[in-house]
């Protein structure tokens, strides 16, 4: 990785490493070699959970333990971390092995999420907890402000199922129509079919679960544009 890429990344992170080797290590995936970021990822995961847990505890003084746990899970899950990584344009900075690089590892959600945790671990080791917490809270500021104690939003598959049940219609059907790529880098193409819509909806993602959610969201949007009235018994 060039010095210019490192400078740009650190500007986006809002943190400049005094030891460039620590940054390099945080960005090194296990496919690159034996010296990689897995230990930093382990450390960063624990620190992230604590920082977000404390932020939620302060932000929601009336919240019950179960509510705080659900919100924290939402904030620290891989999907959220990968979104942060993309905002940092982290993919272009990763140090990957040749095979992982060819298979598109710089876009893979799990690798991006793990690298964010490794960066948190590296910042903590170099500058301590206070500085690390300041950075993490800054990264999460808009997401934390958008939270509420209302029941977390249901995923698209659940909402689609509930919509169909409310209208006394059969449940959706999901089919895998194509799987591309190597075994460790599959791309799944999913079709979603429901009774009121003649044409199936297709979506593609690196996991079957994510592709199904994307297809369900698009199908739900189509359904909501047509007029459906719940069927009455008798």
Would you call 24 a catalytic residue per the annotation?
A: no
The span from the CA of 82 to the CA of 103, in Å, is: 18
62 annotated to bind ligand: no
Percent of the chain with pLDDT over 90: 55
Q: Any residues with CB less than 8 A from the CB of 117 and at least 6 apart, and which?
A: 40, 41, 44, 45, 48, 81
* pTM of the predicted model as reported, rounded to 2 decimal places: 0.67
What one-character-per-residue DSSP string does 206-233 give?
SSHHHHHHHHHHHHHHHHHTS---PPPP
Considering 100, 109, 117, 191, which one is annotated as catalytic?
A: 117
pLDDT score of 71: 92
Residue recorded with tokens 């876009």: 107
Helix/strand/coil for 181 = coil
* Residue-range domains of the chain with CATH: 3-145 (1.10.1520.10), 156-224 (3.30.160.20)
89 annotated to bind ligand: no
Considering 45, 100, 109, 212, which one is annotated as catalytic?
A: 45
- The neighbour count for residue 107, using CB atoms within 10 Å, is 14
Which residue ranges of the chain lie beneath pLDDT 70?
1, 151-153, 183-185, 227-234
181-202 in b/e form (b: 16+ CB < 10 A) is eeeebeebbbbbbbeeeeebbb
The span from the CA of 23 to the CA of 20, in Å, is: 5
pLDDT score of 183: 63
114 annotated to bind ligand: yes
pLDDT score of 234: 42
Would you call 45 a catalytic residue per the annotation?
A: yes
Assigned token pair, 193: 């079919």
Contact yes or no for 132/47 (Cβ under 8 A):
yes
The span from the CA of 44 to the CA of 49, in Å, is: 9
DSSP 8-state secondary structure symbol assigned to residue 195 = T
């Amino acid at each position: 990785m060039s010095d210019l890429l490192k400078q740009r990344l650190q500007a986006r992170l809002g943190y400049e490493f005094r030891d460039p080797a620590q940054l390099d290590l945080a960005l090194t995936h296990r496919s690159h070699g034996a010296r990689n970021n897995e230990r930093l990822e382990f450390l960063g995961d624990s620190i992230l959970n604590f920082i977000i847990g404390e932020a939620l505890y302060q932000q929601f003084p009336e919240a019950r333990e179960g509510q705080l746990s659900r919100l924290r899970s939402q904030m620290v899950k891989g999907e959220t971390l990968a979104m942060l990584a993309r905002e940092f344009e982290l993919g272009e900075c990763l140090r990957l092995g040749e095979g992982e690089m060819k298979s598109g590892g710089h876009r893979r959600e799990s690798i991006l999420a793990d690298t964010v945790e490794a960066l948190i671990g590296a910042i903590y080791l170099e500058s301590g907890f206070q500085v690390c917490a300041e950075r993490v809270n800054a990264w999460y500021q808009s997401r934390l402000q958008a939270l509420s104690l209302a029941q977390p939003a249901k995923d698209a598959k659940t909402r689609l199922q509930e919509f169909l049940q409310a209208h006394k219609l059969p449940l959706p059907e999901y089919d895998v129509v194509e799987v591309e790529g190597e075994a460790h880098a599959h791309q799944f193409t999913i079709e979603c079919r429901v009774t009121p819509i003649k044409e199936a909806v297709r979506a593609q993602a690196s996991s079957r679960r994510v592709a199904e959610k994307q297809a369900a969201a698009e199908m739900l949007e189509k359904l909501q544009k047509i007029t459906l009235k719940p069927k009455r018994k008798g």
